[in-house]
Amino acid sequence: MIKTLIVDDEPLAQEILETYLKSYEDFELTGVSSNALEANKMLKENDIDVMFLDIQMPQLNGIDFLKILENPPLVVFTTAFKEYALEGFELEAVDYLLKPISKERFDKAIEKVRHDLGRNAEAFEDSIFVKSDKKLHRLYYDEIFYIEGLKDYVIIKTETSKIVTLQTMKSLEEKLSNNNFKRIHRSYIVNLDKIKSVVGNNLEILIKGEKVKLPIGKNYKDNLLDIVNSRRL
């Protein structure tokens, strides 16, 4: 797990960053602090991998705080002030995020952190880890039937369970794109090996002998049929 510290004096900013971090199964939020002095204490007591650091804070700003640290973790600056960007990168920050921070921009920062740490969220070729009910669940690709999107959550359906996890369909689609999964609708991703038939604008899969119909979006149908036809004997 990538141990993470949020340092920001704005409660709303803290809440947004916490919410974003929950969608990454390989990140663990170790602590949240509203000032540099408290954060320094947390750094000494914990082995932190990355710190999301605000700049304009009481007592000591984020730039000056980073300068006094002897062995700082990786740092991603999160601030409303773009004028500190050059100095931030001169201090070898991994990234510099301007508030308000979008989830898409935050995703890019996360990938930079993973790269710099030499880690990959999908370290296993045959499975994926997802966070649900305060646990990391390892799901093998061949046991996943389909995935259903529900606002900010997705439901991953296997033969015996439904795993609900906080992340977007887009991020999960990217993770699974090279592992036999295909988006068939804005709300559905399917394991191609589980398709039993395609009827009109629906495809059918069998789960414990029972047919489950999933809708095919009109923007996805042609591509899906090309894939299905290429697999015919």
3 state SS of 9: coil
Residue 134, phi then psi, degrees to nearest 5 = 65, 25
Among 6-20, 113-127, 169-183, whose mean pLDDT is lowest? Answer: 113-127
From CA 204, how far away is CA 194, in angstroms rounded? 9
CATH 3.40.47.10 fits 127-230, yes or no: no
- The CB density around residue 83, as the number of other CB atoms within 10 Å, is 8
**What phi and psi values does residue 89 have, to the nearest 5 degrees?**
-75, -30
For the domain 2-117, what is the CATH code? 3.40.50.2300
According to DSSP, the residues that pair with 154 across neighbouring strands are 149, 165
Closest to 24 in 3D by CA, of 45, 49, 59, 41: 49
Check residue 171 and give its pLDDT.
Answer: 79
> Does 233 score more than 70 pLDDT?
no
Same fold, 2-117 and 127-230: no
Contact 71, 47 (CB under 8 A): no
Distance CA 225, CA 141 (A): 22
CA 8 – CA 36 distance, rounded (Å): 9
Domain ranges within the chain, ordered by starting residue: 2-117, 127-230
Query: E strand or H helix at 156, and its extent?
Result: strand 153-158
Q: Which sign, positive or negative, has the C-alpha torsion 79, 84, 85, 87? A: negative
> Does residue 36 have a pLDDT over 90?
yes
Segment 43-85, tens digit of pLDDT: 999 999 999 999 999 889 999 999 999 889 999 999 999 998 8
Q: What value does the mean pLDDT of the chain take? A: 89
Q: Which two tokens stand for residue 181?
A: 């999964």
Provide the residue type at 90 as one letter: E
81 within 8 A of 56, measured Cβ to Cβ? yes
Amino acid identity of residue 175, one-letter, is K
Banded pLDDT at 129 (limits 50, 70, 90):
confident
Q: What pLDDT, on a 0 to 100 scale, did the predictor assign at position 122?
A: 46
232 confidence band (pLDDT: 50, 70, 90): low
CB contact at 8 A, 147 and 156: yes
| Each residue's pLDDT tens digit, 160-215 | 999 998 888 887 887 787 778 999 999 999 999 999 988 889 989 988 888 899 99
Q: 70, 66, 69: which is closest to 84 by C-alpha?
A: 66
Q: Are 27 and 4 in contact (CB under 8 A)?
A: yes
Contact 155, 163 (CB under 8 A): yes
Please give the model's pTM, rounded to 2 decimal places. 0.55
